[in-house]
Amino acid sequence: MTIRSFAKVNIYLKIIGIKNDYHLINSRFMLVKNLFDTISFTKKQTKDEKFEIVGNFSCKIEENIIYKAYLELLGLKEYSQKIQNFFKYYKVEVEKNIPEFAGLGGGSSNAAFFLHLTNSVLSLDLSQKTLLGLSCRLGADVSFFISSYKSATVEGIGDEVKKFDEDLLDLETFTPKIKCKTPIIYKEYRKKLNTNYDKIIKNNKLLSSKIKSLKSDEIMDNFKIEELNDLYEPAVLLYPGLKDCKEDGYFFSGSGSSFFRRKDG
């Protein structure tokens, strides 16, 4: 009972508005086929009422997004007893390979693939619509991973996911030892928006409309890192060491700190 929990990169990430204090995005998400955690359900030595997660995490179990996904499942009253009974006898083991605080969606991926694995192993037959409903309450990137798309256009606050038809690129990632905190990077970008909101958003929308129909390799061939990811510059302002990590041909994923490029690039 094991599933791979893949990383993602943002080929591009443009902020195209603000709604109810949330940043609205237009982005291309792509799975990284050679970077993944593994999630397994393994037998406990003895029956235990406590939900158990084993893995190299830097947070308490109550803060772990897998635990939060478990609580969302328990909110489905018709399945809650079955789910609780199963996890009295089984624990969740996660082998972590995706760096944390890196813009690669590791936590969101773990939550989504935990939901997929639970749905499969326990034969819950939860619909995609139900799983997407759960994902929206867990985090901005979870919906992409729930979709099972390899490449997708992601909009709204990350909850609007539309399949993009293209082959997966062979990507390599580089993650410096810098832990980027997403909220403060968005806060820094908001300062820029406050200088000339209408003009910046208009330009972002224009560029988004120009590149959203292009395949990912075309985007990477024709645009620069600063053009493609609106969070790169505020991230560098807050974490100056990122600038020293930038190399030609690399792009920036999410709010960082990871860079990526095509292996053949």
Look at residue 201 and tell me whether its pLDDT is greater than 80. Answer: yes
Q: Among the options 8, 14, 91, 150, which is catalytic?
A: 8
- Catalytic-residue membership of 8: yes
pLDDT at 134: 93
Question: What predicted TM-score, i.e. pTM, was given to this entire model?
Answer: 0.94
In the prediction, which pLDDT does 12 show? 98
The pair of three-digit structure tokens given for residue 246, joined into one six-digit string: 């930038």
User: What pLDDT is recorded for position 59?
Assistant: 78
Report whether 15 contacts 230 (CB < 8 A): yes
* pLDDT one-digit tens code per residue, 101-148: 899 999 999 999 999 999 999 999 999 999 999 998 998 899 999 999
Give the three-state DSSP class for 87: helix
2-163: CATH topology is: Ribosomal Protein S5; domain 2 (3.30.230)
Residue 265 confidence class, pLDDT cut points 50, 70, 90 = low
Q: What is the pLDDT of residue 21?
A: 86
Of the chain, the percentage scoring pLDDT greater than 70 comes to: 100
Give, as one character, the DSSP assignment of residue 229.
B
In the annotation, is 68 catalytic? Answer: no
Domain residue ranges in the chain: 2-163, 171-262
Mean pLDDT of the chain: 95
Per DSSP, the residues of 107-169 read: HHHHHHHHHHHHHHHTT----HHHHHHHHHTT-TTHHHHHHT-SEEEEEETTTEEEE---PPP
**Tens digit of each residue's pLDDT (9 = 90 or more) over 148-163:** 999 999 999 999 999 9
b/e per residue 174-210 (b: at least 16 CB within 10 A): ebbebebeeeebbebbeeebeeeeeebbeebeebbee
Q: Give Cβ neighbours of residue 67 (< 8 Å, ≥ 6 apart).
A: 51, 53, 61
Q: Tell me how far apart the alpha carbons of residues 59 and 61 are, in angstroms, rounded to a whole number.
A: 6
Determine which one of 14, 37, 68, 141 is catalytic: 141
